[in-house]
């Protein structure tokens, strides 16, 4: 039996896109790691991992549309461990966090990739609100999700998103004991 009670798998983009809104899942997991004083992330195939008492954090190191290729092998490696995918969500205002245990992928290509690799969408997600630009024009939306958070928006992630996320993580872990 594993000492890991829950796995949290962040998705985003690598390289110069690592600090963009679309990488909010990975960005907030770094904040979680620091808040729990977990070991630094260590490189593994297609990502980075940090394991502490009862918790596993994984940051995908591949492009969003290929998330399944990175996340699913790690999920299978820890197959007896419940998990949630942490990702950006345009439909939630910046600072909002929502847990969803299955259902619609809401057009999110990273979630689609994971669902395809898993063979279904019956997995938990933690949706990290990044807000939405006023225009629904696809090019505008793409430019928005691939832009970096402003300093004020980073402060919202730290002061509003992180406390809610930690609360959800504690709740998800406590339901197992």
Contact at 8 Å (CB) between 123 and 84?
A: yes
Q: Which of 71, 52, 66, 77 is nearest to 169 (CA)?
A: 52
Number of domains in the chain: 1
124-129 and 55-60 strand pairing = unpaired
Which CATH number fits the domain that encloses residue 168? 3.40.50.1470
Task: Let me know if 22 is a catalytic residue.
Answer: yes
- Measured in whole angstroms, the distance separating CA 120 from the mean position of its chain's CA atoms is 18
Does residue 122 fall inside a structural domain?
yes
Does residue 136 fall inside a structural domain?
yes
Catalytic residue among 22, 78, 108, 168: 22
Does residue 1 fall inside a structural domain?
no
Nearest 5°: CA angle at 82, between 76 and 85? 80
Q: What pLDDT does 2 receive?
A: 60
Per-residue pLDDT of the chain (177 residues; tens, 9 = 90+): 468 999 999 999 999 999 999 999 999 999 999 999 999 999 999 999 999 989 999 999 999 999 999 999 999 999 899 999 999 999 999 999 999 987 777 778 899 999 999 999 889 999 999 999 999 999 999 999 999 999 999 999 999 999 999 999 999 998 876
What span, in angstroms and rounded, lies between the C-alpha atoms of 2 and 124?
20
Query: Is the pTM of the predicted complex or chain greater than 0.85?
Result: yes
Task: Note down the domain range covering 47.
Answer: 6-174
């Amino acid at each position: 039996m594993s000492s890991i009670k829950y796995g949290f798998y962040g998705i985003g983009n690598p390289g110069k896109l690592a600090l963009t809104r679309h990488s909010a899942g990975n960005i907030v997991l770094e904040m979680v790691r620091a808040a729990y004083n977990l070991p630094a992330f260590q490189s593994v195939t297609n990502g980075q991992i940090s394991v502490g008492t009862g918790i596993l954090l994984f940051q995908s190191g591949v492009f969003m549309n290929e998330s399944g290729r990175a996340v699913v092998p790690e999920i299978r490696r820890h197959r007896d461990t419940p998990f949630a995918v942490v990702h950006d969500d345009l439909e939630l205002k910046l600072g909002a966090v929502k847990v969803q245990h299955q259902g619609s992928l809401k057009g999110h290509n990273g979630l689609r990739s994971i669902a395809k690799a898993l063979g279904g969408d019956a997995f938990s997600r933690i949706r990290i609100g990044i807000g939405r630009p006023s225009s629904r024009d696809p090019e505008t939306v793409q430019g928005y999700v691939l832009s970096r958070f402003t300093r004020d928006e980073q402060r919202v992630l730290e002061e509003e998103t992180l406390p809610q996320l930690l609360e959800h993580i504690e709740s998800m872990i406590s339901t197992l004991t």
